[in-house]
C-alpha cells in the first residue's frame, strides 16, 4: 500500500534526522516499536532514494535544553531535528547529576566502563570501595517541576540559538495525551497542565515559524487504546499513531531541504561554524 508521500520527489542524497526528547523515545524490551524507529522506517519506504541517518538524544530536563541542543547540533549535525517538549518536566521532581542533565550519553558510557572495571576487581579492594562511592564524585540534586513561564523562557532561548547558529530545520512536538493513571506518578499531574504545555508548544511554533506535531490532541481523540493497560505509557498503537503524525511533518521538511550542493550541505558549510558557537 502506498503511503501519502510515496509519489513525492526528494533529493537523491542523504538526510540526517535527530530526535531530542524524554524517555518515551525508547520502549524497553520491545526494540523497533518506539515512535522514532517507526517514523524512520516509514520515511525510508517513502523516500527509498534517500540515505536516512538518524539518532535520538535524551533530554533529561528543560534546564539542560540549550547545552543539549548545542552539543547535538555540533556532534550529529542534523538536517532535521524533532524536539519533544513534554509535560512531564512540569509535573514531577527529577533527581540527576549535572552531567546526566547536560550529557547523559557521556554518563551512560562512563557507567558501562565502570561496570566492566568492577567486574574485574576484587570486591574488597580499595579501588572497588572507591567506585562504590562514585555518586559522591558526581553528586545528584533534585530539580523541581519547571514552572510554565520558566519552561517557555528556556525553550525560547534554545530555539533562538538554533535558528541563529544552524541551518537545521526544526519540528516541535508537544506532550502526548492525558489519562488518569499518571496521578500516582506525578504530583502535579492534571489535564489542564498537559493542555497548557501543549498550548505553549503551539505558540512557540507560531512565533518561530516552526511546524508543530500536535500529538496531545491526536492522542486525546483516540482514548485508552493509545496507552498500555492500567498505565500512562504509550501502547504500540500509540507509538504508531504518533510516528504517523511525525512522519507526515518530517516528510514535508525533507522536501523543503535545499539541493545538496557544496554551498548548502551542513557537512561542508557548517563544521567550521560550529566551532565558533558561543559557550
88 contacts 189 by C-beta, under 8 angstroms: no
pTM of the model: 0.76
Q: What angle do CA 33, 112, 185 make, to 5 degrees?
A: 50
> Of 207, 97, 85, which Cα lies nearest the Cα of 146?
85
Tens of pLDDT along the chain (279 residues) come to 334 444 344 444 899 999 999 989 999 888 899 999 999 999 999 999 899 999 999 998 999 999 999 989 988 999 999 999 999 899 888 876 666 666 555 545 544 544 555 555 555 566 555 555 555 545 678 888 999 999 999 999 999 999 999 999 999 999 988 777 766 666 667 888 999 999 999 999 999 999 999 999 998 888 888 888 877 788 999 999 999 999 999 999 999 998 644 333 333 333 333 333 333
Q: Residue 231 and residue 235: Cα distance in Å, rounded?
A: 9
168 contacts 73 by C-beta, under 8 angstroms: yes
> Of 81, 74, 39, which Cα lies nearest the Cα of 169?
81
67 contacts 279 by C-beta, under 8 angstroms: no
Q: Which residues 6+ apart lie within 8 Å of 57 measured at CB? A: 18, 19, 20, 68, 71, 72, 76, 105
96 contacts 61 by C-beta, under 8 angstroms: yes
Cβ of 128: how many Cβ atoms within 10 Å? 14
Give 97's Cβ-side CA count (13 Å radius). 14
Amino acid at each position: 500500500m502506498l503511503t501519502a508521500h510515496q509519489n513525492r520527489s526528494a533529493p537523491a542524497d542523504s538526510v540526517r534526522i535527530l530526535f531530542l526528547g524524554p524517555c518515551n523515545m525508547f520502549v524497553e524490551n520491545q526494540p523497533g516499536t518506539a515512535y522514532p524507529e517507526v517514523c524512520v522506517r516509514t520515511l525510508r519506504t517513502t523516500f527509498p532514494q534517500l540515505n536516512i541517518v538518524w539518532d535520538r538524544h535524551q533530554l533529561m530536563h528543560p534546564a539542560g535544553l540549550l547545552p543539549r541542543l548545542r552539543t547535538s547540533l555540533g556532534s550529529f549535525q542534523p538536517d532535521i531535528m524533532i524536539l519533544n517538549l513534554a509535560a512531564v518536566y512540569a509535573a514531577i521532581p527529577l533527581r540527576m547529576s549535572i552531567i546526566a542533565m547536560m550529557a547523559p550519553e557521556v554518563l551512560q558510557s562512563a557507567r558501562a566502563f565502570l561496570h566492566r572495571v568492577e567486574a574485574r576487581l576484587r570486591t574488597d579492594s580499595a579501588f572497588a570501595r572507591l567506585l562504590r562511592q562514585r555518586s559522591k564524585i558526581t553528586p545528584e540534586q533534585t530539580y523541581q517541576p519547571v514552572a510554565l513561564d520558566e519552561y517557555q523562557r528556556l525553550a525560547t532561548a534554545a530555539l533562538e540559538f538554533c535558528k541563529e547558529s544552524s541551518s537545521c530545520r526544526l519540528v516541535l512536538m508537544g506532550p502526548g495525551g492525558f489519562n488518569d493513571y499518571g496521578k500516582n506518578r506525578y504530583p502535579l499531574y492534571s489535564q489542564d497542565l498537559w493542555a497548557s504545555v501543549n498550548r505553549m508548544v503551539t505558540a512557540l511554533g507560531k512565533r518561530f515559524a516552526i511546524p508543530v506535531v500536535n500529538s496531545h490532541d491526536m492522542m486525546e481523540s483516540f482514548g485508552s487504546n493509545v496507552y498500555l493497560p492500567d498505565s500512562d505509557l504509550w501502547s504500540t498503537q500509540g507509538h504508531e499513531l504518533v510516528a504517523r503524525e511525525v512522519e507526515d511533518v518530517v516528510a514535508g521538511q525533507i522536501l523543503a531541504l535545499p539541493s545538496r550542493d557544496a554551498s548548502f550541505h551542513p557537512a561542508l558549510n557548517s563544521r567550521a561554524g560550529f566551532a565558533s558557537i558561543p559557550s
